[in-house]
């Protein structure tokens, strides 16, 4: 679109290009490796901001599209961005420089390999968000695995090998069945192109069992990635054993590949399958929300605690998607972004503690606000954003999801709302045990407060949190067209009433009033 | 008459080059001193390269040769190219290996060339007895090659096992030919097809013959339930021979299987579909599950070869032109990654092939980063990770199988799902090697020797090919499709 025909290709492959530059450097030249990696990721962020300038918020179609033949007649290099993927790309390019900065001093071995892995992951993740060809999508999807596998396995802690292998086997199991489903779709429609398949499926509805099987194959792959209860068991291990940057990328972006996939492929391609399975998925999501929160509460390992919050928060995102309401889905996308920034920030703070004490055990901390007031204040701020305190970012997302879900599913929404209470319990309790009271471990008295580099990281994420809390319409307005497009399509194909807001139920008019106030 | 014969010579140009090069090596052998035997390897390599180039001559003058005994079509051209390519890589990988093991001899290279010529005949054979000659040429040469480490009992055992069981399997094949001849009165593949289609029914004797042929060829491509000998032989053979053995003969024998099953017996594909189906499932599960528990890398790769033969059978079961193309593409991809992987093992084995356990590779990622990176590439390709040849091989195999579900129904869909689950099982053992190379601390002080240039070049070519087929497969895929189209299917 417009004068930037190659913008998406540049955004996708710029990190990979900088990998080439890194490979040319001498392996022991750590300083320059770090500098170039950081410069490349910042440049990438700057370039990705260009997307905002040319993006047309009123257009529900894919923008900046690129379309070239690749293999044979059926497989194309097809990229495009819409309101659903736009901010996820920005989230990726925003978090990568922070991940690089936070590894500045904590990574000593094989520094080059580390930053190469990080940048390859960035390319792969952006590729997943931008691909509009199922083959291309799958290539990028699988490409995210290997560098993350190395990242956990080489630079991780403790049981890193176990965690790395578990991570990769779980994900591969899901994705290989998705590959079969992709091939099946190709066999039916004769194309790998998302638009082409969409058109085919609109014209020729699938038989009931086929639809359910295909939905199931796609959904399983994504649900493992998210992860949806009960497929979540790889997550605590992977997140806990990964190095800080790995956890930030894993929790910040990689989990969203799953929710994004559900929203981009599962729901629009197989609407009646999705509608049929929605009750089951909703129940699993709610179990995940409550279970993740409860398990997080009893953790003694700070990083594991943060890991379990992801199970809870992403359950909420899935719930929002399967409410099939524009409000809830906007909330779900917004919550993906929030979770990326807030949980990323939590992992960053926990990583800073780890750099100082080389432990994640909560009982090793206590009273840390005394020696390091700055770091602990930021920790509190980030925790508050994660537990959805208004007017921080988490609140908007959770609120939109709950409001949208409430329209059709009062019980779901009420149960899911417990997440707000539970997250306050586990996060504030964790903060209390880590930061407040007397210093319990003697070693902690002399810990240095946040360094200049750490302050840059913390200030950046805090500003993002605040900005996303206050200026949410800047984000949601750009999602609106694409989201309502999806919702309309799903509701039309399963004969649901187009919008519950149209029906004058008490709850609907309540929501309407709130939404009207939101928009003023 | 003479002109006709000369034209026929063009059509078997690759075999002629291979055989002549083999004879030249044998003649030169006595005149070259024991310290300079290496040169014979280079002679053989040049011979293989010329043969590879002469595939083009065969391509230009396609058509039946020698009274229709040999059919030089696109299919045969494709298989020739792959087989000779694999042999050339194996020769390069052998040069320094033989030096290292102190078994540098001229006949080794001559045997590789003769075996390759036999495989060429297999690929082009349009007549069963001709195919039998090709099969014997390649088998007998490889029996000797497997036992080439004469002072190693393992190598001797492997050779003996391979020879005894191999002869047995060949006998099955021959008996099968006899029965097909008895039932149809001909051994020409196209005439068998015409005969069966003309009569409209397939006599039981012909079916029995097909079954016996399946036993004989199934043994050579190492598929279940004839796979038991495979790992022992692959493990005992000198590693470059394993590289050759696990690639080229499989390619050529699969080619013959395609001709026999698709062309001659295409009419009864719904019958042999189930044979292939069962064999595929068994092959994949046996290969993958057994590979899980191996600690010896060579043996693990041997079981992985079995598993890959199973994936090839998935495409084979499709019984469509698309299936043939998928099998051919898979074979090309498979040769690159498998030969590459075994050549890496050749390098890492060190003198006497002592370092073959997975834990011997610990810390390789930091000690020999380039070798470790290449090995990872081959392993990831075997695993089927996108952007590598192995992924597209599986991709097209699964695609062609699913495409045929209108004829085979849900059975073929289940087969693909089973294959998909198997490739995840496979992921575990390939990753185990990578865990050792990158994540584990080295257990002992061990300074790796540098990679010999010829071997390094062969590994580089295989690695580049693996990436090329993974990223830009269009040309090879097109080649495979025209090759598949050239088969006179039912």
Percentage of residues in chain A having pLDDT higher than 90: 14
Find the domain containing A124 and state its range: 7-519
Give bridge partners of residue A133 from the DSSP assignment: A193
| Burial class for B444, CB neighbours closer than 10 Å (0-12, 13-18, 19+) | exposed
The bridge status of strand B70-72 relative to strand B63-65 is antiparallel
Residue A221 contacts B, CB cutoff 8 Å: no
**Residue B94 and residue B340: Cα distance in Å, rounded?**
13
**Within-domain flag for B311:** yes
A504, pLDDT greater than 60: no
Is there a contact between B273 and B408 (Cβ–Cβ < 8 Å)?
yes
Residue A514 contacts B, CB cutoff 8 Å: no
Of B385, B420, B474, the CB nearest to A72: B474
Encoding tokens for residue A138? 């799958």
Is there a contact between B331 and B469 (Cβ–Cβ < 8 Å)?
no
Q: Using an 8 Å CB-CB cutoff, list chain B residues near A154.
A: 365, 438-439
Mention every residue, 6+ apart, whose C-beta is less than 8 A from residue B69.
Answer: B125, B126, B127, B130
Kindly report the nearest CA distance between residue B387 and chain A, in angstroms.
Answer: 7
Q: Which of A108, A141, A166, A172 to mutate to test the interface with B (most CBs of B within 10 A)?
A: A172
**Within-domain flag for B397:** yes
**Within-domain flag for A158:** yes
Encoding tokens for residue B308? 């890959």
A83, pLDDT greater than 60: yes
| Burial class for B49, CB neighbours closer than 10 Å (0-12, 13-18, 19+) | middle
Q: Using an 8 Å CB-CB cutoff, list chain A residues near B399.
A: 183, 186-187
Chain B residues within 8 angstroms (CB to CB) of chain A? 365-366, 380, 385-387, 391-392, 395, 398-399, 402-403, 405, 413, 416-417, 420-421, 423-424, 427-428, 431, 435, 438-440, 472-474, 477-478
Q: What is the pTM of this model?
A: 0.89
At A138, the pLDDT band (50, 70, 90 cuts) reads: very high
**Residue A390 and residue A398: Cα distance in Å, rounded?**
10
Of A139, A165, A176, the CB nearest to B387: A139
A501, pLDDT greater than 60: no
B461, pLDDT greater than 90: yes
Crossing angle of helices B453-471 and B369-383, in 10° steps, is: 40
Kindly report the nearest CA distance between residue B417 and chain A, in angstroms.
Answer: 7
B1, pLDDT greater than 50: no
Q: Count the helix, strand and coil residues of chain A and give each as a percent rounded to the nearest 5.
A: 75, 5, 20
Kindly report the nearest CA distance between residue A359 and chain B, in angstroms.
Answer: 21
Tell me, what DSSP letter sits at residue B440?
S
Residue A110 contacts B, CB cutoff 8 Å: yes
B211, pLDDT greater than 50: yes
**Within-domain flag for A1:** no
Question: How confident is the model over A229-257, as a mean pLDDT?
Answer: 88
Question: Quick check: A153 and B439 CB within 8 A?
Answer: yes
Question: Quick check: A153 and B395 CB within 8 A?
Answer: no
Question: Quick check: B423 and A160 CB within 8 A?
Answer: no
B358-393 per-position pLDDT tens digit:
888 888 888 888 899 999 999 999 998 888 999 999
In this predicted structure, which of A27-31, A90-94, A383-387 has the lowest mean pLDDT?
A: A27-31
**Within-domain flag for A2:** no
Question: Quick check: A143 and B387 CB within 8 A?
Answer: yes
What is the structure's pLDDT at A483? Answer: 86
A387, pLDDT greater than 90: no
Question: How confident is the model over B169-189, as a mean pLDDT?
Answer: 93
**Within-domain flag for B97:** yes
What is the structure's pLDDT at B119? Answer: 95
Q: Using an 8 Å CB-CB cutoff, list chain A residues near B366.
A: 110
B436-456 per-position pLDDT tens digit:
888 887 777 777 778 889 999
What is the structure's pLDDT at A520? Answer: 52
What is the rounded average pLDDT for all residues in chain B? 90
What is the structure's pLDDT at A469? Answer: 84
A2, pLDDT greater than 60: no
In this predicted structure, which of A356-370, B117-131, B270-284, B311-325 has the lowest mean pLDDT?
A: A356-370
**Residue B161 and residue A222: Cα distance in Å, rounded?**
48
A479, pLDDT greater than 80: yes
Which three-class secondary structure state does DSSP give residue A353? helix
B403, pLDDT greater than 90: no
Of A110, A165, A177, the CB nearest to B420: A177
Encoding tokens for residue B251? 């390619």
Kindly report the nearest CA distance between residue A172 and chain B, in angstroms.
Answer: 6
Give the sign of the dihedral formed by CA A188, CA A189, CA A191, CA A196: negative
| Burial class for A85, CB neighbours closer than 10 Å (0-12, 13-18, 19+) | buried
Kindly report the nearest CA distance between residue A247 and chain B, in angstroms.
Answer: 18
Percentage of residues in chain B having pLDDT higher than 90: 64
Is there a contact between B330 and B242 (Cβ–Cβ < 8 Å)?
no
Kindly report the nearest CA distance between residue B430 and chain A, in angstroms.
Answer: 11
**Residue B255 and residue B99: Cα distance in Å, rounded?**
34
Top mean-pLDDT range of A76-85, A234-243, B137-146: B137-146
A345-372 per-position pLDDT tens digit:
999 988 888 888 888 888 888 788 788 8
Q: How distant, in Å, are the alpha carbons of B216, B269, B400 from that of B223?
A: 11, 19, 20
What is the rounded average pLDDT for all residues in chain A? 85
Question: How confident is the model over A209-213, as a mean pLDDT?
Answer: 88
Mention every residue, 6+ apart, whose C-beta is less than 8 A from residue A134.
Answer: A182, A185, A186, A192, A193, A194, A197, A265
What is the structure's pLDDT at B482? Answer: 93
| Minimal-distance CA residue of chain A relative to B424 | A173
A3, pLDDT greater than 60: no
Percentage of residues in chain A having pLDDT higher than 70: 95
Q: Using an 8 Å CB-CB cutoff, list chain A residues near B423.
A: 176
Structure-token match 């067209």, residue found: A481
B56, pLDDT greater than 70: yes
At A503, the pLDDT band (50, 70, 90 cuts) reads: very low
| Burial class for B157, CB neighbours closer than 10 Å (0-12, 13-18, 19+) | middle
Encoding tokens for residue A341? 């920034």
**Residue A327 and residue A407: Cα distance in Å, rounded?**
10
Rounded to the nearest 5°, which phi and psi values hold at A81?
-130, 145
B173, pLDDT greater than 60: yes
Question: How confident is the model over B124-137, as a mean pLDDT?
Answer: 93
Question: Quick check: A183 and B416 CB within 8 A?
Answer: yes
Residue-by-residue DSSP string for A88-147: HHHHHHHHHHHHHHHTTTT--SSHHHHHHHHHHHHHHHHHHHHB-BHHHHHHHHHHTHHH
Per the structure, how many domains does chain A have?
1
At A514, the pLDDT band (50, 70, 90 cuts) reads: low
Question: Quick check: B398 and A179 CB within 8 A?
Answer: yes
Reference B58, options B78, B40, B85; nearest CA is: B78
Q: Does a cis peptide bond (omega within 30 degrees of 0) precede residue A230?
A: yes
User: Greatest CA span in chain A, whole angstroms?
Assistant: 70
CB pairs under 8 A between A and B: 77
Of B386, B402, B421, the CB nearest to A142: B386
Question: How confident is the model over B283-298, as a mean pLDDT?
Answer: 93
**Within-domain flag for A489:** yes
Q: How distant, in Å, are the alpha carbons of B10, B192, B333, B350, B399 from that of B71?
A: 12, 15, 24, 43, 29
Reference A2, options A48, A49, A55; nearest CA is: A55
Is there a contact between A333 and A263 (Cβ–Cβ < 8 Å)?
yes
Question: Quick check: A164 and B405 CB within 8 A?
Answer: no
Kindly report the nearest CA distance between residue A143 and chain B, in angstroms.
Answer: 7
What is the structure's pLDDT at A510? Answer: 58
Per the structure, how many domains does chain B have?
1
What is the structure's pLDDT at B102? Answer: 86
Question: Quick check: B431 and A180 CB within 8 A?
Answer: no
Find the domain containing B204 and state its range: 2-485
At B269, the pLDDT band (50, 70, 90 cuts) reads: confident
Sequence length of chain B is 490
Question: Quick check: B402 and A180 CB within 8 A?
Answer: yes
**Residue B194 and residue B192: Cα distance in Å, rounded?**
5
Structure-token match 């799903």, residue found: A490
Of A71, A177, A179, the CB nearest to B477: A71
Question: Quick check: A180 and B420 CB within 8 A?
Answer: yes
Kindly report the nearest CA distance between residue A159 and chain B, in angstroms.
Answer: 11
Encoding tokens for residue B413? 């869909």
Is there a contact between B140 and B273 (Cβ–Cβ < 8 Å)?
no
**Helix (H), strand (E) at residue B72:** strand B70-72
Reference B383, options A224, A241, A74, A145; nearest CA is: A145
At A517, the pLDDT band (50, 70, 90 cuts) reads: low
Of B385, B398, B423, the CB nearest to A146: B385
**Within-domain flag for B490:** no
| Burial class for A39, CB neighbours closer than 10 Å (0-12, 13-18, 19+) | middle
A28, pLDDT greater than 50: yes
Question: Quick check: B424 and A173 CB within 8 A?
Answer: yes
Residue A173 contacts B, CB cutoff 8 Å: yes
A513, pLDDT greater than 70: no
């Amino acid at each position: 679109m417009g004068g930037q025909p190659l913008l998406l290709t540049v955004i996708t492959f710029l990190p990979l290009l900088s990998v080439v530059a890194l490979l040319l450097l001498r392996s022991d030249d750590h300083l320059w490796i770090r500098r170039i990696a950081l410069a490349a990721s910042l440049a990438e962020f700057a370039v990705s901001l260009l997307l905002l300038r040319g993006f047309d918020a009123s257009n529900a179609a894919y923008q900046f599209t690129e379309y070239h033949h690749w293999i044979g007649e059926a497989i194309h290099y097809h990229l495009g961005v819409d309101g659903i993927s736009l901010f996820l790309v920005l989230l990726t390019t925003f978090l990568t420089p922070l991940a690089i900065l936070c590894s500045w001093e904590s990574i000593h071995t094989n520094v080059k390999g580390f930053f190469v892995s990080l940048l390859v992951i960035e390319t792969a993740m952006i590729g997943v968000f931008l691909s509009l060809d199922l083959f291309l999508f799958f290539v990028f999807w699988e490409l995210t695995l290997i560098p993350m596998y190395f990242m956990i396995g080489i630079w991780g802690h403790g049981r890193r090998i176990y965690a790395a292998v578990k991570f990769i086997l779980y994900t591969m199991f899901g994705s290989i069945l998705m590959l079969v489903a992709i091939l099946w779709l190709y066999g039916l429609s004769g194309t790998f192109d998302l638009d082409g398949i969409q058109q085919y499926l609109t014209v020729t509805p699938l038989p009931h069992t086929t639809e359910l099987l295909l939905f199931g194959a796609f959904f399983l792959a994504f649900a493992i990635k998210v992860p949806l209860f009960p497929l979540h068991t790889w997550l605590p291990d992977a997140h806990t054993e990964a190095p800080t940057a790995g956890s930030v990328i894993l929790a910040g972006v990689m989990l969203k590949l799953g929710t994004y996939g559900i929203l981009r492929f599962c729901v629009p391609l197989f609407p009646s399958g999705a509608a049929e399975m929605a009750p089951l998925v909703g129940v699993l999501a709610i179990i995940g929300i409550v279970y993740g929160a409860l398990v997080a509460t009893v953790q003694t390992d700070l990083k594991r605690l943060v890991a379990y919050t992801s199970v809870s928060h992403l359950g909420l995102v899935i719930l929002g998607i399967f409410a099939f309401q524009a409000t809830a889905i906007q909330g779900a996308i917004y919550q993906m972004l929030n979770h990326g920034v807030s949980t990323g920030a939590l992992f960053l703070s926990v990583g800073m503690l780890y750099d100082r004490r080389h432990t994640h055990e909560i009982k090793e901390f206590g009273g840390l606000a005394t020696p390091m007031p700055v770091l602990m204040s930021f920790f509190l701020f980030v925790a508050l954003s994660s537990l959805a305190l208004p007017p921080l970012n988490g609140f908007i997302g959770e609120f939109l999801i709950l409001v949208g879900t409430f329209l059709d599913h009062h019980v779901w929404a009420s149960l899911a709302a417990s997440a707000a209470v539970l997250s306050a319990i586990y996060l504030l309790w964790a903060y209390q045990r880590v930061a407040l009271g007397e210093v319990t471990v003697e070693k902690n008295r002399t810990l240095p407060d946040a360094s200049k580099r750490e302050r840059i990281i913390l200030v950046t994420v805090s500003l993002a949190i605040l900005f996303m809390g206050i200026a949410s319409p800047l984000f949601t307005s750009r999602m609106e067209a694409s989201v309502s497009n999806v919702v309309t399509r799903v509701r039309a194909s399963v004969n649901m009433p187009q919008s519950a807001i149209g029906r004058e139920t008490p709850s609907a008019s309540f929501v309407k009033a709130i939404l009207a106030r939101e928009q003023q | 008459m003479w002109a006709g014969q000369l034209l026929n010579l063009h059509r078997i140009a690759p075999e002629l080059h291979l055989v002549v090069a083999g004879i030249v090596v044998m003649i030169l052998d006595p005149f070259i001193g024991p310290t300079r035997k290496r040169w014979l390897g280079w002679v053989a390599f040049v011979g293989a390269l010329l043969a590879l180039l002469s595939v083009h001559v065969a391509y230009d003058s396609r058509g039946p040769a020698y009274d229709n005994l040999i059919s030089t079509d696109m299919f045969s051209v494709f298989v020739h190219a792959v087989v000779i390519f694999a042999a050339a890589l194996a020769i390069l990988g052998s040069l320094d290996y033989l030096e290292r093991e102190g078994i540098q001899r001229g006949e080794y290279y001559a045997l590789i060339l003769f075996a390759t010529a036999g495989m060429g005949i297999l690929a082009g054979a349009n007549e069963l007895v001709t195919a039998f000659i090709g099969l014997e040429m390649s088998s007998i040469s490889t029996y000797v090659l497997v036992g080439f480490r004469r002072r190693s009992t393992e190598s001797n055992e492997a050779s003996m096992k391979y020879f005894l069981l191999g002869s047995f399997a060949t006998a099955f094949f021959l008996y099968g030919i006899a029965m097909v001849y008895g039932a149809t009165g001909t051994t020409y593949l196209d005439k068998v097809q015409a005969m069966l289609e003309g009569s409209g029914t397939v006599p039981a004797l012909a079916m029995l013959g097909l079954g016996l042929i399946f036993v004989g060829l199934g043994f050579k491509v190492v598929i279940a339930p004839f796979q038991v000998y495979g790992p022992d032989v692959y493990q005992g053979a000198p590693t470059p021979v394993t590289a050759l053995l696990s690639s080229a003969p499989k390619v050529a024998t699969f080619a013959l299987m395609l001709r026999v099953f698709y062309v001659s017996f295409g009419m009864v594909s719904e019958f042999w579909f189930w044979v292939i189906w069962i064999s595929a499932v068994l092959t994949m599960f046996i290969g993958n599950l057994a590979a899980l528990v191996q600690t010896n890398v060579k043996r693990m790769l041997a079981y992985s070869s079995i598993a890959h033969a199973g994936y090839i059978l998935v495409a084979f079961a499709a019984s469509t032109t698309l299936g043939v193309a998928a099998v051919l593409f898979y074979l090309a991809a498979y040769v690159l990654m498998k030969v590459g992987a075994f050549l890496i093992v050749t390098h890492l084995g060190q003198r006497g092939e002592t370092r073959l356990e997975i834990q011997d590779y610990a810390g390789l990622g930091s000690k020999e980063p380039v070798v470790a990176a290449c090995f990872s590439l081959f392993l990831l390709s075997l695993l089927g990770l996108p952007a590598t040849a192995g992924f597209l091989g599986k991709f097209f195999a699964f695609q062609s199988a699913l495409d045929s579900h209108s004829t085979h129904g849900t059975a073929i869909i289940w087969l693909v799902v089973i294959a998909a689950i198997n490739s995840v099982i496979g992921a575990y053992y390939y990753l185990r090697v990578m865990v050792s190379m990158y994540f584990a601390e080295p257990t002992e002080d061990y300074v790796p020797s540098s990679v010999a240039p010829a071997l390094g070049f062969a590994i580089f070519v295989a690695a580049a090919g693996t990436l090329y087929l993974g990223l830009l497969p269009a040309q090879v895929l097109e080649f495979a499709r025209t090759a598949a189209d050239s088969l006179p299917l039912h």
